[in-house]
Amino acid sequence: MPHLLLLLHSSPAWTRPACQLFDMRQLCIEGILLSLPVRWDKAVKRQLLSSPSAVIGVSWPGNDDSCIMEIRPIAFIHTEFSEKFGIPRQSGLAGSLRGKIVFGKEFRSPDAVRGLEDFSHIWLIWEFSSRKGKEVKWQPVVRPPRLGGNAQMGLWATRSPFRPNPIGLSCVELESIVYDAAEGPVIYVKGADLMDGTPIYDIKPYIRYADSRPEAVCGYVDSLGERRLDVVIPETLRKAAGENAAVLSEVLGLDPRPSYQNDPERVYGMSFCGLNVKFTVSGDVLVVCAIEKQG
């Protein structure tokens, strides 16, 4: 029998007749998802669709939108990247990068992180928040930067941020948990590839026996290898970077440039740790030419 998926508000005037009309097996209020059998009747469709105040989402068999889900952030991460450019393309590549995860008020329970301190790594499920407010239509084919921006790959064969659902997944090192912080329990991590202020939707422990696949075959990525640049930071500029000089060098060594840009005369700029960092790249050598404080 066909099923209808819908979301109801808690309007008594609508939910009671709905229960009588469709013989509901479960009651749904305040946006909880329910599934109920209904007769395949055009009149039923018309009645539901004419009640927008009661029905948030309707789906019929065969529709790709057969599951409607609403999620909200449980936390936000704070990192040294105020903009997208320069962020490592994958988590763990710059292991010295530190991030601070602060839970929303509703989720600041020490009990919720009990036992997490015994794990060395965790998974973060997050949103590509830099896309918010931008109408970006997803495309089935993309041009991965690591392939020079020319070769085309199917979206699902890449980790492009331009997805129908802009969800990211990162494995990071769990450095520590501070239970008595002013913002509730705070999690400190290393190796995050996230922009400052990125919303976190879920946190899960990394489990070695289930999550590690050393024998995995990784398609075109296997042929690319890992390329790192030799980074030169003059001593005077190294002093300007202060205690962040080492991690800055690690990040720059990953080559923040798009793969299709290879102009040795071009000066690139990157925001990092409250600094404006300018550099050039010639061959496999990156030279920092200026470091200035922002603002």
Higher pLDDT, 63 or 279: 279
> What is the chain's mean pLDDT, rounded?
80
Cα angle, residue 35 at apex, residues 29 and 37 outer, rounded to 5°: 125
The pLDDT value given to residue 186: 98
Q: Which amino acid does the sequence have at 45? A: K
The pLDDT value given to residue 280: 96
pTM value is 0.75
For 75-223, which CATH class?
mainly beta
**Other beta carbons within 10 Å of 217:** 7
- Residue spans of the domains in the chain: they are 3-59, 75-223, 230-293
Q: What is the tens place of the pLDDT at every residue in 12-28?
A: 333 333 333 333 334 33
Q: What is the tens place of the pLDDT at every residue in 190-208?
A: 999 999 999 999 999 999 9
H helix intervals, the chain? 12-22, 42-49, 208-211, 235-241, 245-252
The torsion angles phi and psi of 19, rounded to 5 degrees, stand at -65, -40
How far apart are alpha carbons 161 and 164 in whole angstroms? Answer: 9
DSSP assigned state of 267? P
